[in-house]
Amino acid sequence: MNPDAGTSTSNGCNAGGFSGVASVPCDPATVAPGAESRSVAPVGSEAVGGAVGGCVVGMCAGVLAPLLVVVNPHPVANAAVNTTAAPAARAAREGVMGRFAAVIAGVVMGAGVGARVLVWGWVMVGGMMLTGCRVGSEQRHDFARVRMGVEARVSVYSADREGALEAASIAFDEIARLEQVFSDYRPSSDLSRLAASPAGDLVEVPPDLFEILALAREIHDRTGGAFDPTVGPLVDLWRASRREGRLPDRTALDAARARTGVRFLELIPPAHARVLRDDLRLDLGGIAKGYAAQRAVDVLRARGYPIAMVALAGDVVASGPPPGEPGWRIALEPTPPGLAPMTILLAHAAVSTSGDAEQFVEIEGARYAHLIDPATGLGSTARRTVTVVAPRGEWADAAASALAVTPDPHAAATALIDRFGLGVVRTEPSPGGVFVRVVLDPRSVVRGVR
C-alpha cells in the first residue's frame, strides 16, 4: 500500500460493538492487518514549506522594521513601525515572547522616545518572527484507538503535540459518546432501550438517534429496501450460518424475516419514536460509523482544528486538505485483478467502501458476502464493491451499504445521487468474468489522482 495514502477498504467486519445493517461482525482475532483503514496523508513538504514561508516573512520583518526606526526616528517613522508590529505584538503576548515584552516594557519606560521606539521595534518583530515560524509549522499527528468495535484513526494538523493530543481526545470522546447512543450490543444504549420498549409506547430519543433513524428510513425508501435498520434478527441468524458453514433452516429464516421491516418502527418528529413489535431488533452498523466519523470532524472544526481526517474501518471523513495539498489521498482497496489502483483526493467530504471482496463464505457451491441482503435474509450474492464519495459521512456509509446489495445498483445510485450529491465507483465482474469499474459521478465529486 502507498504509505502516503489513507485507505478506504470494503472490510465490513467489526471487532465487537457493532454489527451492521448489512454486515456481520467478525471475531476480533480474525481482523487482518490490512483490513483496518489507515488514514495517513502526505507529510513532509507541506509542513516544511509552511514553516519556511512563515519564518522567511518573520525574518524579513525582523530585519526591516527596526531599520525604519534607525533611519527615521521621528513620529511618522514611529507610526509606521507601530502599524507593522501591531499584529506581531498581539501574537507575542502568548508564551515566552509575551513575558519578555512585559519585562522590556518596564525597562524602557523611563527612556527617551527614540530609545523606546527602537527597543519596541525589536521586541515586536521578534514576536513576529517567532509567531510566523510557529503558525507555519503545523504538522500531521496520527492517533488510533478502538471505538465501535474497530480501529478508529484520527489525523490532525497542529502546531504542537499538545494541541494534537487535545484534538484527538475530542474526536475519540465524540465517537465514544455516539457509541453509547447507537450500539446494539450494549443494553444501556439509547438504541437498545428503544428496541426493548413495549410495543406502542412513545419513547423520547436523543437528537442523534432520531436523525440517524430518519436518514436510515429515507435510504431504505430510496433504494427499494436495500438498507434496513431492523435487520438485527437476520444478522444473528447469518452469523451462526457463517460460523457453521451451512444455510439457515427455512423455518428459522422465515421467522427472522417476519420480525424485520421499517413498518415496525415509527418516528414522531422532533424527538420521539415507537416500536410496533415487542421483539424488534434495531441495527445501525451500516450507517453509524460514518455518522460518528462525521460528527468527530464537525466537533474538531468547531473547536479550532480545521484540518483533520477521521477513519472508522472503511468510513473516512475529512475536513480541510493538508497544507499545500488539494486533498487527503485515499487509496481505494482492494483492487481487483486487471484493474489499476485508484486513489482519490478528499477534502470537506467523506468516502465509504462496502462489498464482498474481503469477507465472504462459500456454502453449497455459492459465494455469500458478510453483507445481509434484506430481500433474502441471507448474505448478498452480488460480486460487487461500491465506493461512495459524499458531502457527509453518514450519507456515504449508508449509500455504500445499500448499493453493495441492491439488485439494481444503477437505479438506486441514481436516486441517491439526485438526493445527496454523491459520486459512486462500482467494481464488479462483467458477464465474461473480467472485472470492470463503473463510475457514476455527474457532479464530479470523485477527484482522482491516478
CB-based burial label for 429 (10 Å; 0-12, 13-18, 19+): middle
Q: How many CB atoms neighbour CB 316 within 10 A?
A: 34
- pLDDT at site 9: 58
pLDDT bracket for residue 393 (50, 70, 90): very high
d(CA 231, CA 260): 6
203-213 confidence digits (pLDDT tens): 999 999 999 99
Which of the listed CATH numbers 3.40.50.2000, 3.10.520.10, 3.40.50.450, 3.40.50.150 matches domain 6-42+139-448?
A: 3.10.520.10
354-390 confidence digits (pLDDT tens): 987 666 778 888 888 878 899 999 988 888 899 999 9
Q: Give me 67's grid cell.
A: 531599520
CB-based burial label for 306 (10 Å; 0-12, 13-18, 19+): middle
133-190 confidence digits (pLDDT tens): 434 578 999 999 999 999 999 999 999 999 999 999 999 999 999 999 999 999 999 9
The span from the first CA to the last CA of the chain, in angstroms, equals 14
pLDDT bracket for residue 395 (50, 70, 90): very high
Q: Indicate the domain borders of the chain.
A: 6-42+139-448, 46-135
Give the Å distances, CA to CA, from 55 to 59, 62, 125. Answer: 6, 10, 12
- The continuous run of DSSP H or E covering 109 comes out as none
Q: How many CB atoms neighbour CB 43 within 10 A?
A: 17
Mind giving me the DSSP string for 223-276?
TTTSS-TT-HHHHHHHHHHHHHTSPPPHHHHHHHHHT--GGGEEEETTTEEEES
The CA-based angle 353-147-218, given to 5 degrees, is 50
68-101 confidence digits (pLDDT tens): 333 343 333 333 333 333 333 333 333 433 444 4
> Please, which residues bridge with residue 388 across strands?
352, 424
- pLDDT at site 277: 95
